[in-house]
């Protein structure tokens, strides 16, 4: 290999490595910004419709729809972050302080599980199967929210069997969240910039 060709190849490798680093950096920054945006949206959506449940001092809300949208579109980590911080902040703003730590864990796990389950199947090109996998992911994440709140209210908040009063509202909350989230996710998945946010940057191989 001549010196000129070797030098040109070295420069190409250096250039590609630099571009890969910049791409990874901007991708990470975009994820952080997206996480903050979806967290704010989660807080707002939770606050906008909150129906008080007197038996447990809890409330019905639409926040799960945003958690599902975020987790299905952008993955487990952003979904978990959005659920934990967005819903937890809503509890604080609305004055449900005792629920905030519980919500942080429960909604965080919900987003994490939904995003993680769908990640395993989302590359399937079959549209019907992809929809089924989205629904499966939500079904797998739902027990962490419904069961998590029930156990926390039963044992930690000491409501005993009064905690069962929230089981049906929470199931309805998950169902309504899925009804809202699934069409939106199906629509946004057709937008290239949305899908590219979730993809990890891949370096282009250098030809010899």
| 80, two tokens | 């978990």
| 164, two tokens | 């069962």
Note the pLDDT tens digit of each residue in 122-163. Answer: 776 676 688 899 999 999 999 999 999 999 999 999 999 999
The SS3 of residue 59 is strand
**What's the mean pLDDT when you consider all of the chain?**
86
Pick the CATH number of 9-198 from 3.30.465.10, 1.10.1760.20, 1.10.3720.10, 3.30.360.10: 1.10.1760.20
Whether the pLDDT of residue 208 is over 70: the answer is no
> What pLDDT is stored for residue 22 in this prediction?
40
Q: Which helix (H) or strand (E) holds 177?
A: helix 167-188
The pTM assigned to this predicted structure is: 0.82
Residues contacting residue 133 through CB under 8 Å, at least 6 positions apart:
117, 118, 121, 122, 124
Domain ranges for the chain: 9-198
Start-end of H helices in 49-126: 63-74, 76-81, 87-94, 100-119
> What pLDDT is stored for residue 206 in this prediction?
43
Note the pLDDT tens digit of each residue in 87-101. Answer: 999 999 999 999 999
Compute the 3-state secondary structure of the chain and give helix, strand, coil in percent, each to the nearest 5. 80, 5, 15
Whether the pLDDT of residue 7 is over 70: the answer is no
R_g of the chain computed on alpha carbons? 21
């Amino acid at each position: 290999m001549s010196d000129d060709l070797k030098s040109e190849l070295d420069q190409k490798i250096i250039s590609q490595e630099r571009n890969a680093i910049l791409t990874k950096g901007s991708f990470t920054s975009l994820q952080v910004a997206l996480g903050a945006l979806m967290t704010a949206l989660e807080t707002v959506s939770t606050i906008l419709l909150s129906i008080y449940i007197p038996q447990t001092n809890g409330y019905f809300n639409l926040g799960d729809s945003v958690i599902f949208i975020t987790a299905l579109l952008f993955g487990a980590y952003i979904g978990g972050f959005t659920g934990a911080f967005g819903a937890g902040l809503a509890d604080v703003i609305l004055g449900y302080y005792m629920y905030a730590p519980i919500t942080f864990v429960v909604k965080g796990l919900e987003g994490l599980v939904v995003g993680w389950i769908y990640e395993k199947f989302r590359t399937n090109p079959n549209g019907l199967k992809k929809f089924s996998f989205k629904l499966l992911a939500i079904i797998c994440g739902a027990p962490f929210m419904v069961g998590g709140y029930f156990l926390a209210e039963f044992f930690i908040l000491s409501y005993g069997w009064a905690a069962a009063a929230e089981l049906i509202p929470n199931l309805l909350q998950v169902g309504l969240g899925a009804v809202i989230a699934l069409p939106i996710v199906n629509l946004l998945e057709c937008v290239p910039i949305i899908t590219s946010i979730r993809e990890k940057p891949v370096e282009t191989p250098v030809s010899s």
